[in-house]
Every structure is written in C-alpha cells, then in structure tokens.
Amino acid sequence: MSDEIIEELRQIRKLLEPKPAPPPPPPPKGLINEFKAFLKTFKVMGMAVAFIVGLYLGALVKALVDDLIMPIVQLATPGIAWEEITVGPFRIGHFTGSLITFIIIMFVIFLLVKVTKRMGIE
C-alpha cells in the first residue's frame, strides 16, 4: 500500500513540475516585415489615434471654456476684465482661466473613461 502512495505522489509531483516555456517566435525577415511586427507589437496605430483624438478633444474643450463658460464668468463680474487681473507680475486672471479649462478637460476625460469602461473597452 505504501508503494501505491509513493507512486501516486510521484505522479502528482510530475504534474506540478513547471513546464519549459515555448521558444520565442523567430524574428521576421525583411525590413517591411520587421516594421509590420513593430507596429503590431507596440500598437503604434492605436497610440497615434489616441494622441490625435486627445489633441482635438483638448482643443474642443478649450473652445467650450473660452467661448461658453468664460463669457458667463464675465457676466457674473461685469466691468471687470478678469483675464487682466494681476498681482504684481503675476497674471492671476489668466491662470484662473487656464485652471478652469484644465479642470473641465479632466472632468471630460473622466467621463469618457467611465463610459468606455462601461462599454467594456479597456
């Protein structure tokens, strides 16, 4: 009976031993094939699309802030050119406008990430 147990333990040990990793695929031959493998490996097209979309999304949100939100701020502060508010050499008004733009862009990106995650896009 103990021989059966020892044999069973040997089989379990054999099953638990790590298997050698498969060899990596051979590198592609030829410049064009290497370039295609580079594009595929590093997902360059996806990054390029995301970068371009990000640039235009930023421009769109900046236009939203500059053309729609900041005029409301100007209505709330009549007679004050808020962009020209300075304290010594510091342009406080311009910084405030840039800060509002940044916060809105971050909020829009947050919403996009939330929506795409709900859709199952990682």
3-state secondary structure 40-93: HHCCHHHHHHHHHHHHHHHHHHHHHHHHHHHHHHHHHCCCCCHHHCCECCECHH
Q: How many CB atoms lie under 10 A from the CB of residue 56? A: 9
Q: Look at residue 44 in the predicted model and tell me its pLDDT.
A: 81
Alpha-carbon distance 11 to 86, whole Å?
80
Domain boundaries, given as residue ranges, for the chain = 2-118
pLDDT in tens, 84-113: 888 889 988 888 888 887 888 888 788 888
- Residue 1 pLDDT level (bands cut at 50, 70, 90): low
Alpha-carbon distance 106 to 57, whole Å?
11
User: In the numeric block, which tokens belong to residue 45?
Assistant: 């097209």
pLDDT in tens, 41-52: 888 888 888 888
**DSSP structure class, residue 121:** -
pTM (2 d.p.): 0.50
Alpha-carbon distance 122 to 111, whole Å?
14
In words, the CATH class of domain 2-118 is: mainly alpha
8 A C-beta contact, residue 104 and residue 61? yes
